[in-house]
Amino acid sequence: MRVSTIVATPGFLNLDGSEPFTHRAMQVLEAMLEVDCVVGDPTLRFSRVEDDNRTARIPFAGTERVYAKIDGAEHTPEEWAAQGHPEYPILTFLVATEH
């Protein structure tokens, strides 16, 4: 998945273990193009895909769920720019309380 902008919320940036999740989520999104949401789940031992392959759930060593979510993937960055929205698609990293 090619994105135009990557952002992270303050809650995510201040969370222990956010960097390993960021790297793993990027690997999942690159390998599985149909996935537009990666959930880091502290209760999981093994990764799985659900929601018709749109959501990947992966183990997370932290204490709360974290997310990597792509918004605006229905168009290419060039299509969004032509419509005046060069910032899309956006990949956002956030914690569950900010979802």
The per-residue pLDDT for 3 is 82
CA-wise closest residue to 7 among 73, 87, 77, 62: 87
Task: Please return the burial class of 40, using the count of CB atoms within 10 Å of its CB with bins 0-12, 13-18 and 19+.
Answer: buried
pLDDT band at 67 (very low <50, low <70, confident <90, very high): very high
1 has pLDDT over 70: no
According to DSSP, residue 57 is labeled: E
pLDDT one-digit tens code per residue, 2-56: 788 899 999 999 998 899 999 999 999 999 989 999 999 999 999 999 999 999 9
The per-residue pLDDT for 56 is 97
CA-wise closest residue to 34 among 52, 11, 18, 7: 52
79 has pLDDT over 70: yes
81 vs 93, more confident: 93
